[in-house]
Amino acid sequence: MTHLLRRGGFTMRKWATNDPAVLKDIPVVERASLSTHHFAPEASLKTLGVRWHVSEDLFSFSVNCNATQTHYMKREVLSTIAKIFDPLGALETRHRLVGSITRTIQCPLAFLPYLQETWHIKIPRRCLSIDSLRRVYLHGYCDASETAYGAVLYLRAVDEVGNVSSRLLCSKSKVTPINRPTIPRLELCAATLLARLIKTVKSTLRMTIHQTTAWSDSMTTLAWIAGDPARWKTFVANRVAEINSTLSAVNWRHIPTDENPADLLSRGATPMSLASTPL
């Protein structure tokens, strides 16, 4: 690739990899400069606003606030949250924080400890931790609350000897509208968001998905999805029809609320608790 691009006058620079052997044939001037020396455990590289820890092959998010500042304007809070570049939605719980602030006339002091915390959340770069894949499953979860609703996708794979890998793939969340619908309708909106996310991801992944399963903790939503859209009112019927066009009702399952990983999207979580959560 380097020689091909050089023939057109393009010189590739800032090469980085988690395998030192790959860099042996690349001149030092064309390598990316790490924040620490060479392949030390703490060595990291910032790309597209996300920090990549080279030796651990992890992505991290770190936002530092002025610890001496005691008062924040609402726009300062929102500006700090907006600085986080998160294309895959690993930190989608921040949307609940945004929704709470935008509905508040004055910036509440309860949010100040969150801003003064340092976010140190690390996620694996690889979606799968095994190589010889035998079967790949896509599991989606959705949930809603009075302030936000969201959906999250996990990729589960099994190799030839039975080893299992299950990791977070992506997530998406939204703040509930000011004219808030009922909780069952918000749960249906979350299911619709999950169906759209599944459709987008399946069209992007370059692998065979052997089975797709969607999970919701709302029995009302599952009953709507299993029924004929013509039976329901317009709001419900339109969303059920969209969901069924992406994923059949037989692929939907019920999950208890306390086991639903999408609960973090709807109810929110502090940076420190999100960093330590097993979900």
Pairing relationship of beta strands 121-124 and 58-61 according to DSSP bridges: antiparallel
Domain-located, residue 51:
yes
Domain-located, residue 263:
yes
- pTM (two decimals): 0.77
pLDDT digits (tens, 9 = 90+) for 83-94: 666 767 766 655
Domain-located, residue 204:
yes
**Domain of residue 161, residue span:** 128-276
* Range name among 20-34, 132-146, 206-220, 228-242 with the lowest pLDDT average: 20-34
Is the pLDDT confidence value at 193 over 80?
Answer: yes
> How would residue 151 be classed by pLDDT, with cut points 50, 70 and 90?
very high
Q: Quick one: tokens of 121?
A: 């959340």
Q: Quick one: tokens of 44?
A: 């990291």
pLDDT digits (tens, 9 = 90+) for 123-147: 777 777 777 788 899 999 999 988 8
Residue 10 burial by CB count (10 A; 0-12/13-18/19+): exposed, middle or buried? Answer: exposed
Is the pLDDT confidence value at 52 over 60?
Answer: yes
What does the mean pLDDT of the chain come to?
78
Same structural domain, 141 and 6: no
Domain-located, residue 74:
no
Count of structural domains within the chain: 2
Domain-located, residue 30:
yes
Distance of CA 260 to the CA centre of its chain: 15
Is the pLDDT confidence value at 38 over 50?
Answer: no
Same structural domain, 55 and 149: no
What is the model's pLDDT at position 39?
Answer: 45
R_g over Cα of the chain:
22
- What b/e readout covers 50-70, taking b as 16+ CB neighbours within 10 angstroms? bebbbbbebbbbebebeeeee
